[in-house]
Structure 1
Amino acid sequence: MTRVDFHTNVGDALLYACRLARKAYQAGQPLVVLADPGRLRAFDERLWTFSPLDFLPHCMADSGLAARTPIVLATDLERAPHHQILLNLAPAVPAQFARFERLLEIVGTSDGELTAGRERYRFYRDRGYPLNNYKQGDQQGA
């Protein structure tokens, strides 16, 4: 059963997502990042700029390199080549999240993000998924 980790009270979700991606990469765990096209473009840019000392190899799911790339950016999970960790940057529950060993959910501080995060939390909880909660304070380090 998929383990679901909620990271809540996150001030800058994309920066925090970059740090989670770096952590997964350094641990040798392939990662799929799910979001809408606009958010994926913004996340792609942040991966290039968030740390001057880190290079996180990544590509889009429709790339011929996706199967060999540790971080894959996707707008849907149909062509996701990895099934270890899914990082959801979308407001809804991913349709095929149960294919993954682990799901990371980031919940920001705005009213809309909190409402969507609570709905996703209830969805997973009501279906018996193991949930872990990591509430962030002033420090945004992952």
Structure 2
Amino acid sequence: MTGIEFHFNAPSRLDYACRLLRKAALRGARVAVTGAPATLQELDTALWTFSATDFVPHCSASAPAEVLALTPVVLCEQPTRSPHHAVLLNLGEGVPEGFERFERLIEVVTLDEDDRLRARERWKHYKARGYALERKDLELKEGR
């Protein structure tokens, strides 16, 4: 069954996603990232610019198969189109279609009240279906 983590209190969804994806790529993880087209475009730009010394290899799900096979981070509107099935990072507002195909799902939740309300709905959705949920409070982690 998919392990689901909610990472709460991210000051910026894109900044946090960039740091998380850098860490995952350095560890050799294969990650699919899902969200709205505009969000994925913003993330694509951010991954090129968030650090002057780091590069996070990434591509869109529409890339050729040989590129997808070699790239650790795949940006996809539909997670079912990703060749990776280890980790799914959800930057969207709703429950991602096909999330259960992944070993792990990470939900990033910002300080914005509307975002928190949508996250509560996703939490209820997963909980009602019997998924074990893990809460990670980024505010507490960064305050140490």
Give the TM-score normalised by the residue count of structure 1. 0.94
What is the identity, as a one-letter code, of the residue corresponding to 1:88? N
- Counterpart of 1:35 in structure 2 is 35
- Counterpart of 2:133 in structure 1 is 131
SS in 2 for 1:137: helix
What is the identity, as a one-letter code, of the residue corresponding to 1:113? D
- Counterpart of 1:57 in structure 2 is 57
CA-CA distance at 1:121 after TM superposition: 0.8
Contact 1:21 1:71 in 2 (8 A): yes
Give the TM-score normalised by the residue count of structure 2. 0.93
SS in 2 for 1:38: helix
What is the identity, as a one-letter code, of the residue corresponding to 2:36? D
2:61 is the alignment partner of 1:76? no
CA-CA distance at 1:84 after TM superposition: 0.3
CA-CA distance at 1:139 after TM superposition: 6.9
CA distance in 1, matches of 2:140, 2:51: 19
Structure 2 spans left out of the alignment, 5+ residues:
none
2:16 is the alignment partner of 1:16? yes
- Counterpart of 2:47 in structure 1 is 47
Q: CA RMSD in A?
A: 1.5
What is the identity, as a one-letter code, of the residue corresponding to 2:61? A
Superposed, 1:116-127 pairs within 5 Å as 116-127=118-129
| Deviations, residues 62-115 of structure 1 (Å, cap 9, x unaligned) | 101112211000011232110000000000001100000000000111121011
Moved over 4 A (4+): 138-141
Structure 1 spans left out of the alignment, 5+ residues:
none
Structure with greater proportional helix content: 2
SS in 2 for 1:78: helix
2:112 is the alignment partner of 1:110? yes
Contact 1:48 1:55 in 2 (8 A): yes
CA distance in 2, matches of 1:130, 1:118: 15
Length, aligned pairs only: 141
Q: State, as a whole percentage, how many aligned pairs show the same letter.
A: 44
